[in-house]
Amino acid sequence: MRGNFSYHNPTKLYFGEDALGYLKDEMGSYGKTVLLNYGSGSVKRNGIYDEVVKILKEAGKTIVENPGVMSNPTLEKLREGIKIARENKVDFIVSLGGGSVCDYSKGVAASVYYEGDCWELFWVKQRQPEAGQKIIPIGCILTMAGTGSEMNGGSVITDAATSMKLGHVFDERLMPKFAILNPRYTMTVPMEQMKAGIYDIMNHIMEQYFSDFDDNTSDYIAEGLMRSLIVSSRVAVKNPQDYEARSNIMWTATWALNTLIGCGKSEDWMVHMIGHSVGAWTHAPHGYCLAAVSMAYYKRAMKPGQAKFARFAKNVWGIDGEGKSEETLAAEGMEALKAWMTEIGLPLKISEIGGTAEMVEGITKTTVIYPAGYLDLKVDDIRAIIKESM
């Protein structure tokens, strides 16, 4: 392991079927007025909203509601939330939903006490809030497994006017103070979103794993997480009500992107950059956008990263390397990945998720590009990957 790093994760987790029981005690540490952010209604249909509101009331809180946080939250909706938070002088934000609501809540929390253009400063210029700027603390009650947003500083926002979907990793001041993870809540997630979440988790691990060649403990942890995810995903697609599988998936999602397995790694994230751009144009679930561009991307990364891809084949997919060249083994690993994606029903092409040939140029132009992982791609390479993925 050669990299230098610091590691500190301040988010306190409560995991399991009793996790919500800790909300009232946690809320005791914060002020009276709570902004409750949630999505388009799933939490009302499955009853989680009622449970949360009851506890917040018992804790003596005044609740300010902000419903309608959409999947892949927009800048317009973010500005609306900032306005509501300012007008009501909120002391704390409860994020009730999936990664979109949690990402959105961080955006609001960072921007309420910043008077300039938050989009420009945080997402375009990739800056952090000034030292000393007031930030509203957040708590996350997670209803969908995938992003890892519950234990990281990531916040992805889409400017619908320009089709720019940009992610920003805020520093630890914006990480949730606590996250409540009850796998039972994920049982009502539609099958399509569950599968999208599963591939999002897999790809988060791959984005960190497929970089560098040194022997790094982080990669061994990554391999274990991938193996657990593969096992549980196969169970969950057959029986989404399998608690054991759903809880393993939820726990894996958190560890896949809470910075631990990125320790000492240079990391990649270009599948995410291309996938975000595909998402801004197609509005398809995030994990599906990643799945649709993965084959064309990894085909290119496989040559310069051959040794690592061969290791992926052996240690993640259990492929016997006896008598095989590194090249053959690496290719077999990618085939195993593709077979698993097909088996659990993930899209392999952008056209399967609403993309059209007319979008190629637009998706290319809105992709953020940098040297990453084993590749140093240029605009023409991105265009070729998108065309090949259509």
Nearer to Zn ion, 180 or 201 (CB): 201
Per the listing, tokens 């809030």 go with 129
Counting residues that bind ligand NZQ (by CB under 6 A) gives 35
Query: Nearer to ligand NZQ by C-beta: 99 or 129?
Result: 99
Max alpha carbon distance in the chain (Å)?
68
Task: For the beta carbon of residue 180, count every other beta carbon within 10 angstroms.
Answer: 26
**What is the CA 128 to chain-centroid distance, rounded?**
20
DSSP secondary structure letter of residue 305: T
Q: Which of 66, 111, 143, 294 binds ligand NZQ (CB under 6 A)?
A: 143
Phi-psi region of 244 (alpha: psi -120 to 50; beta: other; left: phi over 0): alpha
| Binding track over 155-194 against ligand NZQ, x by CB under 6 A | xx----------x-----------------xx-xxx--x-
In this complex, which beta carbon is closest to ligand NZQ, that of residue 40 or of residue 239? 40
Amino acid (1-letter code) at residue 326: E
- Closer by beta carbon to Zn ion, 274 or else 296: 274
In terms of CB distance, is 95 or 306 closer to Zn ion? 95
Which residue number, 181 or 377, has a Cβ lying nearer to ligand NZQ?
181
Which residues, 81 to 140, sit near Zn ion by CB under 5 A?
none
Considering only 27-35, 77-85, 143-151, 314-322, which stretch makes contact with ligand NZQ by CB under 6 A?
A: 143-151
Instruction: Report d(CA 261, CA 12) in Å as an integer.
Output: 18
Q: With beta carbons less than 8 A apart as the criterion, state whether 211 and 265 touch.
A: yes
Cβ atoms of residues 169 and 220 within 8 Å: no
Measured from the CB atom, the residue of 37 and 306 that comes closer to ligand NZQ is 37
Letters for 213-252 (x = contact with ligand NZQ by CB under 6 A, - = none) are ----------------------------------------
Q: Which x/- pattern over 186-205 shows residues binding Zn ion (rule: CB under 5 A)? A: --------------x-----
257 binds ligand NZQ (CB under 6 A): yes
71 binds ligand NZQ (CB under 6 A): yes
Alpha helices in the chain (DSSP H): 23-27, 42-45, 48-58, 75-88, 99-111, 118, 191-209, 217-238, 243-256, 270-282, 286-301, 306-315, 326-344, 360-365, 379-389
**Which one, 286 or 300, has the nearer CB to ligand NZQ?**
286
Q: Binding to ligand NZQ by residue 286, rule CB under 6 A?
A: yes
- The Cα 222–Cα 297 span in angstroms is 20
Q: Is 197 in the site for ligand NZQ (CB under 6 A)?
A: yes
Whole-angstrom distance, CA of residue 388 vs CA of residue 384? 6
282 sits near ligand NZQ (criterion: CB under 6 A): no
Sign of the CA dihedral 301, 212, 199, 150? Answer: negative
Q: How far is the CB of 272 from Zn ion (least distance, A)?
A: 6
By a kind-dependent CB cut-off of 5 to 8 A, residue 328 interacts, out of ligand NZQ, Zn ion, none, with: none
The piece of 27-35, 80-88, 95-103, 336-344 that touches ligand NZQ (CB under 6 A) is: 95-103
Distance from the first to the final alpha carbon of the chain: 38
Structure tokens at 95: 């994020």
* Number of other CB atoms surrounding residue 127 within 10 Å: 11
The letter for the amino acid at 297 is: Y
Residues that bind ligand NZQ (CB under 6 A): 39-42, 46, 71-72, 97-101, 103, 143-144, 146-149, 152, 154-156, 167, 185-186, 188-190, 193, 197, 200, 257, 272, 286
Interface contacts to Zn ion, rule CB under 5 A? 200
